[in-house]
Structure 1
Amino acid sequence: MIGVVIPAHDEEERLDACLASVLRASRHPALGGEPVRVMVVLDDCSDGSARVAWEWGVRILCVEARNVGWARAVGSEWLLSNGARWLAHTDADTQVHPDWLAVQLALRADAVCGVVEVDDWSVHATRVRQRYEAAYVDADGHSHIHGANLGVSAAAYARAGGFPALAAHEDVALVRALERTGADIAWSARCRVRTSSRKDARARGGFGDYLCGLAADPS
């Protein structure tokens, strides 16, 4: 079984599109009909995120940690305990490409770090996009780590010790732990997602804050 973990804190507006894309990817013919279980970890939600998840028929865990690392970890552990051989991670404000899961498995690595596309630059000044694109390597062999686009085998995840309970950069911490264990990591531009350019970032220090930081940089 393939498991997908999606942490969410008050993501009612964006979760519907995310789940539609993940479930579409779960039906890709290259998966050969292998079951895909989607776990939404609702972290201290006070909006309608739970309703959206129920309407899609996915599994739900509720926590009150306000900690994305903890949310990813508990979702991962549930899926592993129920037979997942592969864990794919994305975010509730992200839409994955139709071949997202198929590409991760086709790369035959212990872990896959994919790339992100920004869904809408109109909320940011032109210089933000220019600075972002000047620094971002959208090609195989990149060095980007995104919790919104990360896959790892069950065995490699266990050897690395799983996600730490960090409020930000939990994805970087896991990948660094994977590297220390000697895991084979594919840094692939074939594995793609589109993520929000939001200014109201849910995780301090995450991707949304990075974009806002580009706007605030006077250089």
Structure 2
Amino acid sequence: MIGIVVPAHDEEACLPACLDALLQAARHAALQGEDVRIVVVLDACSDGSAGVVMARPVTGLCVDARNVGVARCLGAAHLLAAGARWLAFTDADSVVDERWLADQLSLQCDAVCGCVTVDDWSEHTDTVRQRYQAHYQHRDDHRHVHGANLGVSSQAYTAAGGFRGLALGEDVALVDALLANGVAVKWSALPRVVTSARKIARARGGFADFVVGLAGENDGVGAAA
């Protein structure tokens, strides 16, 4: 079984597109009918996110942590207990390609770090878009780490200790632990994910704040993304 974890904090507006894309990816012919289970971890949600989850064939778990690391860890633990052999992670404000899971598994490795694409820059100036595109490396061997496009075998995830309860950088910490364990991580542009460039961040200091920071005189191109 393949497991997918989506942390969500008040994501009623974005979740429908996110989950519908995941359900399509789960049905891709290349998976040869393997069971795919999707878990949405509803972290301190006060909007209609739970209703979006209940309307679809996915599992919702509730937590009041306001911590993305805790949310990802909880979702992964649930799927591991159900027998998942592969764990894939994305974010509620992201839309995966229909080949997302198939492409991760086609790389035949224990961990995949994928890229993200921003297709709507309407909340930002052309300067921000140009600075981001000058910094970002959308290619193989890119060395970006995104919780919105990450996959790992259950064995490698467990051996590395899984996600830590970090409110920021939980994805980077996991990849660092995988590398420390000698896991051959593939940094691939093959699995495709479109993500939001919204200005209002759910996790302070994360991707949204990185993009917003590009508007300043100090363009932030040295920051991790």
TM-score range, shorter chain: over 0.9
How do 1:156-175 residues align onto structure 2 when only pairs under 5 Å count?
Answer: 156-175=156-175
Matches within 5 A, 1:28-43: 28-43=28-43
For 1:190, what is the secondary structure of its paired residue? coil
Distance 1:217 1:65 in 2: 35
Q: Which residue of 1 aligns with 2:188?
A: 188
Letter in 2 for 1:21: A
Q: TM-score, normalised on structure 1? A: 0.99
CA distance in 1, matches of 2:192, 2:78: 25
1:85 aligns with 2:75: no
Q: How many residue pairs end up in the alignment?
A: 219
Q: Distance in 2 between matches of 1:11 and 1:43?
A: 10
Alignment-mate amino acid for residue 151 of structure 2 = G
State the 1:218 CA deviation.
4.3
Q: Which runs of structure 2 are paired with 1:105-184 in the superposition (5 Å)?
A: 105-184=105-184
Q: Deviations over 1:11-70 (max 9, x none)?
A: 000000000100000011000000000000000000000000110121010000000000
Q: Secondary structure at the match of 1:157?
A: helix
Give the equivalent residue in structure 2 for 1:21: 21
Cα drift, residue 134 of structure 1? 0.5
Unmatched segments (≥5 aa) in structure 1: none
Compare the two structures and name the one with the higher helix fraction.
1
SS of residue in 2 equivalent to 1:13: coil
User: d(CA) in 2 for partners of 1:61 and 1:216?
Assistant: 38
Distance 1:218 1:135 in 2: 13
In structure 2, what residue type is equivalent to 1:67? N
Distance (Å, rounded) in 1 between the aligned partners of 2:48 and 2:217: 35
SS of 1:208's equivalent? helix
Structure 1: distance between partners of 2:2 and 2:48: 27
Write the distance in 2 (CA, Å) between the matches of 1:217 and 1:176: 31
Deviation at 1:215, TM superposition (A): 1.2
Poorly superposed stretches of 4+, deviation over 6 Å: none
Which sits farther off after the overlay, 81-90 or 116-125?
116-125
Distance 1:119 1:207 in 2: 15
State the alpha-carbon separation in 2 of the partners of residues 57 and 203 from structure 1. 27
| Letter in structure 2 aligned against 1:156 | A
Amino acid at match of 2:40: V
Determine the structure 2 residue equivalent to 1:70.
Answer: 70
Question: Is the aligned partner of 1:209 residue 2:214?
Answer: no
Distance change >3 Å, CA 157–CA 218, structure 1 → 2: closer
Q: What TM-score do you get using the length of structure 2 for normalisation?
A: 0.96
For residues 81 and 39 of structure 1, what CA distance do their matches in structure 2 show?
A: 13
Structure 2: which amino acid aligns with 1:196?
S
Which amino acid counterpart does residue 64 of structure 1 have in structure 2? D
Give % identity.
61
1:197 shift after superposition: 1.0
